[in-house]
Amino acid sequence: MNELQKIKLSLPAIEHEITNLLAAVYQSNPELKSDDDFKLDILEGSTDLLEIVDKLMINLSLTEGYVEGIKITRARIDARSVRLKNKSDVIRSIIRRLLEAAEMRKFTVPHGTASLTAKPQNVEIVDEGLLPEEFFRITKSPNKTLIGEKLKAGEDVPGAQLSNGGETLTIR
């Protein structure tokens, strides 16, 4: 079992330990609820909180490094895929030219069959402005930017409201 799994399994016990410790401190000293430095000193001296957070920060750094490495690898694989697709297109073009030069519609060789076949017809729009309205799809979606501006300005927008943004964890 790795370190992260151990921490995840013991997380409820750690949270319970922190909650109980702080509740005991607040019971006799309620003014300390807003003193983060004091709370940090108490938690550091009485629990493994900072050691656990430090291990998690190391794990986070390594994990995010892996994510970046995967992005780089993916970019390289994507570039290789493009090169191979281009190579495939060149090979197909050569086979087509050979079929046409031989004035044949089909070659069968041990590794496959190449043939020229008619492609199905496709719709091609040459001037969108000339198309009648019945041939258009109309999509309707809320303009969240405009709605947000109105709500933030204190105006009422039926069917919409501002959400509580909540909190986010920032790691530096």
Alpha carbon of 23 to those of 2, 27, 29: distances in Å?
31, 6, 10
Question: Would you state the structure tokens that stand for residue 53, as one six-digit string?
Answer: 């957070």
Task: Summarize pLDDT for 61-120 with one digit per residue, the tens.
Answer: 999 999 999 999 999 999 999 999 999 999 999 999 999 999 999 999 999 999 999 999
Rounded to a whole number of angstroms, the CA Rg of the chain reads 32
pTM confidence score: 0.61
Indicate the length of the chain as a whole number. Answer: 172
Mind listing the pLDDT tens digit for each residue in 21-77?
999 999 999 998 999 999 999 999 988 899 999 999 999 999 999 999 999 999 999
Task: For residue 41, give the amino acid letter.
Answer: D
C-alpha to C-alpha distances, 172 to 77, 100, 159, nearest whole angstrom: 30, 63, 38
Residue 129 has a CB neighbour count (10 Å cut-off) of: 5
